[in-house]
Structure 1
């Protein structure tokens, strides 16, 4: 089969397109999929580069989010049949493992998965939309709803709002009835975020987002009795790096910061004084549950939530797709369609 293979860690050049990689062999409880769409995530970038403490079994086919059609079922698989349209939960929640990392993922014509990892794709949801959901949208859903508990009337500042997680956070905050302030790197992305529902946009490449928040929404106050306690209720920050302390300082008294990643650095400077002085809450969110994916399918199928696809690349151009993702030249999700 055709596949994009990683045989060692390094730059994008380490992703090699191979025309005759061995087909997967399935066994008890397995299904074989013809891959129709795989969306890329920043986790795929980290897998390619190499992550401390995580050993990758080379050669590996990356790509966590996989959607396709079943072409073969193994012994003991009773709930699925050839031709079913399915999405794979990247996490093997029974035996352990992660698609595109410890198991071969979706950057190939064929992919093996365990039957218990599958979701049925609704008829009115495309393969590309389905592939956009698990890692980015699933992570955003859990962070905004279960962990963050974003509520009607709250002011929510979202950093990295134009990426896969970010565009879902914007939509979920609006569904909850919040006032959304989205950070974007370009005016074009800003306009697209407004079209998506953002109430305000801050172009972080042109202005300091903390200063803008203070100018537009006031400075946080330590006195709860003050009628207008400035700042925002929630900051969504999955970038880390030098945005962390500024994010804390943008929060009002009792505000909460939500994090599910650290794409710009996992060991930022910290100012504990801000946390205790303003009684802030730091809430971490890690991944998604199967119920989150089911709820996302309901929202997309009903039209309440858009699975935004920036571009679809053929398998031969998977390296270019990753370059665009890594360069943050994306609005929504990047998909590879073998």
Structure 2
């Protein structure tokens, strides 16, 4: 089969296009998936570069988010049949292994996975849309809806809104009836965010997002004129770093800061005075549960949610897809389709 293989950690040059890689064979409790779509994630780049404390078996095929059809069935598997449409829940909770990190993933024509990781995919959900869901959209759904409980009428500021997680946060907040403020780095991205539900935008490259929030919605106050009404109800911050304290300062009394990551730094300077003075709530969210993925599939099936897929690539074009992801040229998700 054709596959993208890495044999050691490094840069994009380590991605090797193989035209005759060995086909996976089904073993007890597993199935072989004909990969129709594999969505790329920043985590793939972390795997490529190497992560402290995580030993990746080499050589390995990356690709966490996979959707396709059952192509072969191993002994002991009775709940699936050939041709079934599936999407993979990429974290095997029994072993703790992540697809594309500790076991071969979806950047190949075929992929072997334990049958327990499969989820049935309705006929009216596109493979690429399904592949976009687990890591980014699953993480966003758990943060925004399962934990964050975004409500109609709330003002929600989403930082880093143009990526996979961010675009889903914007859509989910809008779906809940919130007033959505999206922060992104270019005018083009802000225009695209407006098309998927953002009510207004902030270009954080040219403007201080905290000052813009204060100008538009008032400076948060606990007492006196406007006490409890200035600022926003919710800030979604999975960047961390220098954005952390300004995010706290955007929140009105009783406001909520939602986080699921720290792409710009995990140990920012803190000012806990804002937390106790304004009685703020900081809620962390880690990955997804299968119930979150089922909810997302249903939203897509009902046409209430449309994953933002910027571009689709062939398997041979995978290095260019990763380059765009690494250089933050991507709006939403990019998908590799191995059989194209």
TM-score, normalisation: structure 1: 0.97
Rounded to whole Å, the distance in 2 between the matches of 1:74 and 1:213 is: 56
Rounded to whole Å, the distance in 2 between the matches of 1:219 and 1:225 is: 11
Deviation (angstroms), 1:60: 1.1
1:125 is aligned to 125
- Which blocks of at least 5 consecutive residues in structure 1 are unaligned? none
2:60 is aligned to 60
Asked if structure 2 preserves the Cα contact closer than 8 Å seen for 1:69 and 1:86, the reply is yes
Deviation (angstroms), 1:226: 4.3
1:189-338 equivalence runs, <5 A: 189-223=189-223, 226=226, 229-338=229-338
Task: Please give the secondary structure, in 2, of the residue aligned with 1:32.
Answer: strand
Q: How many residues align?
A: 338
- Which blocks of at least 5 consecutive residues in structure 2 are unaligned? none
Rounded to whole Å, the distance in 2 between the matches of 1:226 and 1:218 is: 8
Asked if structure 1 preserves the Cα contact closer than 8 Å seen for 2:220 and 2:229, the reply is yes
Task: Provide the alpha-carbon RMSD of the alignment.
Answer: 1.3
Task: Please give the secondary structure, in 2, of the residue aligned with 1:119.
Answer: strand
1:104 is aligned to 104
TM-score, normalisation: structure 2: 0.97
Deviation (angstroms), 1:229: 2.2
Q: Deviations over 1:207-251 (max 9, x none)?
A: 111110010011111228845621111100111121111111111
Q: Deviations over 1:290-314 (max 9, x none)?
A: 1111111110010100111100011
Asked if structure 1 preserves the Cα contact closer than 8 Å seen for 2:30 and 2:73, the reply is yes
Rounded to whole Å, the distance in 2 between the matches of 1:73 and 1:176 is: 41
Rounded to whole Å, the distance in 1 between the matches of 2:25 and 2:225 is: 66
Asked if structure 2 preserves the Cα contact closer than 8 Å seen for 1:24 and 1:110, the reply is yes
1:88 is aligned to 88
Deviation (angstroms), 1:70: 0.9
Q: Which segment drifts farther, 252-261 or 227-236?
A: 227-236
Rounded to whole Å, the distance in 2 between the matches of 1:147 and 1:326 is: 29
Q: Which segment drifts farther, 240-249 or 266-275?
A: 266-275
2:11 is aligned to 11
Asked if structure 2 preserves the Cα contact closer than 8 Å seen for 1:39 and 1:66, the reply is yes
Asked if structure 2 preserves the Cα contact closer than 8 Å seen for 1:136 and 1:164, the reply is yes
